[in-house]
Amino acid sequence: MGNRFPVSKTYWTYRRSVVVLGAVLALGPLAACSTTPPPPSNPGPVIVPGRPGEEASTIAPGEATGIDVPEPNDADKHFMQDMIVHHQQAIWMSDLAPERASSRDVKELASRISDVQGLEIGAMNRWLSLHAVPTVNPTAPDHHTAGDHGAMPGMATQEQLDQLRNARGAAFDTLWLQLMIAHHQGALTMAEEVRQKGLDVKVQEIADDVVVEQTDEIQRMRAWLNG
Say whether 223 sits in a helix, a strand or coil. helix
Residue 161 has what pLDDT? 96
145 Cβ neighbours under 8 A, 6+ residues apart: 89, 155, 156, 157, 158, 161
The model's pTM: 0.69
Residue 65 to residue 63: CA distance in whole angstroms: 6
Q: Are 203 and 80 in contact (CB under 8 A)?
A: yes
In 3D space, the residue among 81, 111, 82 whose CA is nearest the CA of residue 186 turns out to be 82
The DSSP-derived string for 180-217 is HHHHHHHHHHHHHHHHHH---HHHHHHHHHHHHHHHHH
Q: Identify the architecture of domain 74-138+147-226 in CATH.
A: Up-down Bundle (1.20)
Q: What is the pLDDT along the chain (227 residues), one digit of tens a residue?
A: 544 444 444 444 444 443 444 444 444 544 444 455 565 555 566 555 555 556 656 656 656 555 567 899 999 999 999 999 999 999 999 999 999 999 999 999 999 999 999 999 999 999 999 999 999 998 886 555 544 545 799 999 999 999 999 999 999 999 999 999 999 999 999 999 999 999 999 999 999 999 999 999 999 999 999 98
Say whether 59 sits in a helix, a strand or coil. strand
